[in-house]
């Protein structure tokens, strides 16, 4: 019944959020007013006459979010709780227990306690499963149970959690938590500094600038800026970070919209910190939005060598719009373009395929642009690195394993079965990797290929045509061969999976800071960056 309400009754509520002033609203005023009136009367009649009691707030929330799902994934509605979560995401500050927590239906899983913050001091570890907060059982709580951990600074919260089959309680004193945008910066060798930038919060540019200055004092003559896994954030911070390495007055990004006031050109406004220091920027498929502004601009301006794998490809710009009762709409207002003129948006949400999926620009339809020095760069989705580390691109099976938390869960298991490894020399053995494969099998790891989906549909058609008896044996053989292929796919991606497991194991023992320390000496992209920076001729060849 709920799905019927979503699809047949509530979707017409799309008019509600169209109360945004601007050109589109004015030109379509009659149609918008008409649809609002239709929805208002429908909503009233539904709540007054439906056979069971309804929850108007929940229905409206569902209606709005389903409406927006037809646009792009970045145009979203925030209720009061969502607005606060967005504020935390942008500032990096909140009052809580100091841990990354994943909300599941019946528990809160501690994914990462921050070193020396309340959760860590109270003894919570990665993998602990919080089942009760004060007297509230998480499984019975209908809202976002993670909100139960937040509160006034200095206030206490008692949590009940399970660990390796045992149940414990802990009293945690909440405090203001500052999640650093730059979790680590340090010298990699005698003349090369490394800066890890994890998110573009309100302090990202200040932290990055301070790190750069201190590294130069320590003797850095070259810099590695690591944007891997950085999902983006505030546009102004991205522009200010580019400004550290390019002159004042330099074009960084342009935004283009159907609404004239959103067409803007952003240039650097300050004197740079260093326009000559050799610079490598690391990116991967998790580098998005503001990360792509930084890497794309520095590439277009031939100011840095970009190393890694193609970035995510988010070239859409959002702006928050305040609504009534403390709610908010984050709406896509424009696309952004790097200095060469390319838009690196990967997916087209407005011209979907027959299944309703966003389409991707085919490589043969990419448009060529030129960097400042005349190098060829292309649009079509994401920033393509100058040095492509193919082994670092996540295979489909690896993405599935990561998404289902199997690497995290295995690292948790490893933590309780092994003593702390040596941070400098730890490597996962082949035997331990085989243990991981057995672990996946024990967890009934499900990885459905597109081939399996197609075969399943074919068998449904065959059944309707009375051919399933003749084809069933061949179908079973094909499925068996595919299962063998999947086991082989795990082995074929052994190197990639081992690296991810090693990083997660180290983080369990030595926190995020230790993980960054570890990858400085064990990471293929960083080693590639050091190789490029150590050879001026090679470095300049990429830029010219």
- 29 burial (CB, 10 Å; 0-12 / 13-18 / 19+) is exposed
- In angstroms, the CA 524 to CA 520 distance is 9
Beta strand segments in 9-138, E:
76-78, 93-96, 99-103, 108-113, 129-133, 136-137
Nearest to 131 by CA among 119, 116, 145: 145
Phi, psi torsion values for 418, nearest 5 degrees: -140, 150
Helices 524-533 and 494-522, axial angle in degrees (round to 10): 50
- The answer to whether 528 is a known catalytic residue is no
CA-nearest of 360, 222, 325, 437 to 16 is 325
Catalytic residue chosen out of the listed positions 300, 340, 386, 392: 300
Pick from 335, 523, 507: which is nearest to 421 by CA?
507
Active site residue 26: no
Run of H or E residues at 333: strand 328-337
Query: Do 246 and 268 touch, CB atoms closer than 8 A?
Result: yes
In this structure, what are the phi and psi dihedrals at residue 184, rounded to the nearest 5 degrees? -155, 135
Q: Using an 8 Å Cβ cutoff, are 494 and 162 in contact?
A: no
Whole-Å CA distances, 146 to 57, 82, 170, 172, 521: 21, 12, 16, 14, 36
User: Quick check: is 314 catalytic?
Assistant: yes
3-class SS of residue 342: coil
Residue of 125, 132, 222, 314 marked active site? 314
Burial of 193 (0-12, 13-18, 19+ CB in 10 A): buried
Contact between 98 and 46 under an 8 Å Cβ cutoff? The reply is: no
**Residue 113, C-beta contacts closer than 8 angstroms, at least 6 positions apart:** 98, 99, 119, 120, 124, 125, 126, 511
User: Among residues 13, 198, 287, 289, which one is catalytic?
Assistant: 289
Whether 320 and 329 have beta carbons less than 8 Å apart is answered as yes
Residues with catalytic annotation?
289, 300, 314
């Amino acid at each position: 019944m709920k799905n019927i309400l979503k699809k047949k009754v509530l979707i017409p509520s799309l008019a509600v959020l169209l109360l945004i002033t601007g050109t589109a609203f004015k030109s379509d005023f009659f149609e918008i007013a008409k649809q609002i009136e239709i929805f208002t009367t429908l909503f009233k009649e539904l709540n007054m006459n439906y056979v069971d009691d309804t929850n108007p707030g929940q229905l409206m929330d569902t209606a709005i979010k389903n409406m927006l799902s037809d646009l792009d994934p970045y145009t979203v509605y925030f209720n009061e709780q969502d607005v606060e979560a967005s504020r935390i995401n942008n500032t990096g500050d909140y009052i809580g227990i100091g841990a990354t927590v994943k909300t599941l239906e019946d528990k809160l899983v501690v994914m990462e306690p921050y070193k020396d913050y309340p959760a860590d001091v109270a003894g919570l570890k990665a993998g602990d499963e919080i089942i009760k907060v004060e007297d509230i059982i998480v499984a019975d709580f209908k809202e976002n149970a993670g909100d139960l951990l937040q509160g006034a600074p200095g206030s206490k919260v008692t949590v009940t959690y399970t660990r390796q089959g045992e149940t414990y309680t802990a009293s945690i004193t909440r405090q203001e938590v500052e999640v650093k945008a730059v979790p680590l910066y340090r010298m990699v060798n005698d003349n090369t500094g490394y800066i890890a930038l994890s998110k573009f919060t309100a302090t990202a540019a200040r932290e990055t600038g301070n790190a750069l200055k201190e590294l130069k004092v320590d003797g850095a003559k070259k810099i590695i800026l690591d944007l891997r896994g950085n999902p983006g954030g505030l546009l102004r911070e991205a522009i200010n970070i580019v400004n550290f390495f390019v002159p004042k007055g330099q074009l960084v990004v342009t935004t283009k919209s159907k609404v004239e006031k959103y067409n803007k050109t952003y240039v650097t406004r300050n004197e740079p910190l260093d326009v000559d220091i050799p610079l490598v920027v690391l990116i991967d498929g998790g580098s998005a939005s503001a990360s792509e502004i930084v890497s794309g601009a520095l590439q277009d301006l031939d100011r840095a060598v970009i190393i890694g794998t193609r970035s995510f490809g988010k070239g859409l710009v959002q702006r928050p719009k305040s609504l009534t009762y403390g709610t908010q709409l984050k709406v896509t207002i424009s696309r952004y373009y790097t200095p060469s003129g390319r838009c690196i948006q990967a997916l087209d949400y407005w011209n979907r395929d027959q299944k309703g999926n966003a389409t991707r620009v085919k490589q043969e339809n990419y448009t060529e642009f030129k960097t400042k020095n005349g190098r060829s760069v292309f649009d079509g989705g994401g920033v393509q690195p100058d040095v492509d580390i193919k082994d670092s691109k996540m295979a489909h099976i690896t993405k599935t394993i990561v998404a289902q938390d199997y690497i995290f869960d295995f690292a948790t298991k490893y933590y309780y079965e092994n003593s702390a490894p040596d941070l400098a020399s730890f490597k996962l053995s082949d035997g331990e990797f085989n243990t991981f494969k057995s672990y996946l099998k024990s967890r009934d790891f499900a990885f459905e290929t597109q081939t399996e989906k197609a075969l399943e549909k074919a068998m449904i058609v065959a059944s309707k045509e009375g051919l399933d008896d003749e084809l069933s044996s061949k179908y079973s053989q094909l499925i068996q061969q595919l299962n063998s292929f999947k086991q082989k796919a795990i082995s074929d991606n052994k190197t990639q999976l081992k690296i991810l497991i090693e990083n997660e194991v180290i983080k369990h023992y030595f926190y995020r800071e230790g993980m960054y320390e570890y990858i400085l000496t064990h990471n293929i992209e960083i080693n590639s960056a050091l190789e490029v920076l150590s050879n001026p001729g090679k470095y300049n060849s990429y830029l010219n």
